[in-house]
Structure 1
Amino acid sequence: MASVPFHYVDLRAFCYATEDEKRVEDALRTYLPEDFEIERTESEGHHGDRILVLSARVENADEMRHVLDKLGELPDLDEVREQLDERVDENCSFFVSLDKQDAYRGTVSLGEGITLRGKVEAYPAKKEKAVENAREALAQ
């Protein structure tokens, strides 16, 4: 993937009280460049249980390329490309949910547990242009 038509890419995963924080971090790191800093924020669930939010914002072009290259490993990337009208919102943000369990095992797949949100560059900042740019980025 040569060009990077994104302003930034955010990755986020929740670590629930029943989960091992290191495993959730390892799952998130599947998509991140080596030694990338992960932020931790504590939150509270509906029943007062602790939830740790692990997140990372990737803004450097080479680092974003790394994330997009990992996304390119998706077996159902064609499905993601076909759904871009639903995956890109009016604010030019691209969304994809990734499987946290598979990511822990080093496998890239759609699922639940890790949210990827990329702010697509689009001039003018219109959904149609963002969809076109995201399609191009995911085609490489």
Structure 2
Amino acid sequence: MSRLLGPGGRLVLTSRNWALDRSAGSRVEVRDRLVRRHDRDAVVSYYWQIEQRWEQEHVLEIVVARIEPEGAVRACSERLSIWPYRYEDLVAQLRSVGLTVQSTTFDPETEGYRVVAGRDQAPAAEPAR
């Protein structure tokens, strides 16, 4: 992506705070209320499989249990592979491709954040003589 940015270009990234997710460990999270879509109710739950090391593949499985009008429950799920990263590693990766963090909303206690990175302005060309 960095090669697509010209001088003065910006890259805006949003991310989870993976350190918080990892610190909570493997778990099942069930939303505390029904979700309604297209006149159907459902309960959404998340299974987090957190591994010992950052470099290992982690798993997030999202399960949507739809409640049918007659009371039956139909579930579908999606399993996602995740490779979490630390904020500091993201900043280092941006620097390694020639981008500088211009602004960030990162807070170690907050679930998500935004980073704006850009390529430094190229020096102005000398006028032709």
After TM superposition, the score normalised by the length of structure 2 is 0.27
- Greater RCO (CA < 8 Å, at least 6 residues apart): 1
The structure whose residues are more often strand, as a share, is 2
Larger Rg: 2
TM-score (norm 1): 0.26
